[in-house]
Chains A and B, each alone.
Chain A
Amino acid sequence: KQEVTQIPAALSVPEGENLVLNCSFTDSAIYNLQWFRQDPGKGLTSLLLIQSSQREQTSGRLNASLDKSSGRSTLYIAASQPGDSATYLCAVSQSGGGADGLTFGKGTHLIIQP
């Protein structure tokens, strides 16, 4: 059974710093990997999706990388801002047609100090 782990569980950094969030998964037979953010009391917002054949995806100040063979992904946030404060979730989709849905990590709770 796929397991997704995110490290660290919580992170607090001053505004302006660059930071890296880590995600690892136990079964490398994934179809894709998604990074989401969740604000308190809200649903999930998709940030980036990386197909299993891709190495990285970029959107603005965000860059996500994927090393499928080693079961790792990182989310790099450049020049962090207080508005980046949220919980960041990593999720993988297993090969096989979507019937298993996404398997999520427990998230990294990020606080950017003004």
Chain B
Amino acid sequence: GAGVSQSPSNKVTEKGKDVELRCDPISGHTALYWYRQSLGQGLEFLIYFQGNSAPDKSGLPSDRFSAERTGGSVSTLTIQRTQQEDSAVYLCASSFGVEETQYFGPGTRLLVL
């Protein structure tokens, strides 16, 4: 079946602009995760959804970052007033349930000029 998909695959934006990243999880997966992979920083957990609910948003790097999930499916990660340090690969993962194997999408490569 279809895996996790993300769009866009690449995004170049100017500093100060807002960007929206999209994640389509595997059908039937109730848990959805966002991570960020920066050069030299490794993979960093951002936020987790169980259904449409995100119990803890403290992993988001700043208040410029927000995420939502609707219908227990698609999720969007929004970055407002982008900064150069936001440049990274943003990865989404989903799992059938909490603590199950996470399946990752191909990521969105964000470059802020």
Question: Count of chain A residues with Cβ under 8 Å from any Cβ of B?
Answer: 24
Is A31's CB within 8 Å of the partner chain B?
yes
Query: A101 near B45 (CB under 8 angstroms)?
Result: yes
Is A21's CB within 8 Å of the partner chain B?
no
Q: What 1/0 mask marks residues of chain A from 76 to 112 whose CB sits below 8 Å from any chain B CB?
A: 0000000000000101010001111111111100000
Tell me what chain A mostly uses at the interface: helix, strand, loop, or mixed.
strand
* B55 contact from A31, A91, A99, A105, Cβ within 8 A: A99
Docked complex Cα distance between A32 and B91 (Å)? 20
Query: B101 near A43 (CB under 8 angstroms)?
Result: no
Name the CB-closest residue of A to B33. A101
Give the chain A neighbours of B47 by CB distance below 8 A: 101
Docked complex Cα distance between A96 and B3 (Å)? 26
Query: A103 near B31 (CB under 8 angstroms)?
Result: no
* B98 contact from A36, A97, A103, Cβ within 8 A: A97
* A98 contact from B43, B50, B101, Cβ within 8 A: B50
Is A70's CB within 8 Å of the partner chain B?
no
Beta-carbon contacts under 8 Å, A42-75 to B: 42-46, 49
Docked complex Cα distance between A22 and B31 (Å)? 29
Docked complex Cα distance between A5 and B60 (Å)? 23
Task: Decide: A104 near B43, CB < 8 A? Known: A43-B91, A43-B105, A98-B31.
Answer: yes
Give the chain B neighbours of A34 by CB distance below 8 A: 101-102
Task: Decide: A101 near B99, CB < 8 A? Known: A43-B106, A44-B104.
Answer: no
Give the 5 A-B residue pairs with the shortest CB-CB distance, closest first: A101-B45, A98-B98, A104-B43, A44-B104, A43-B104
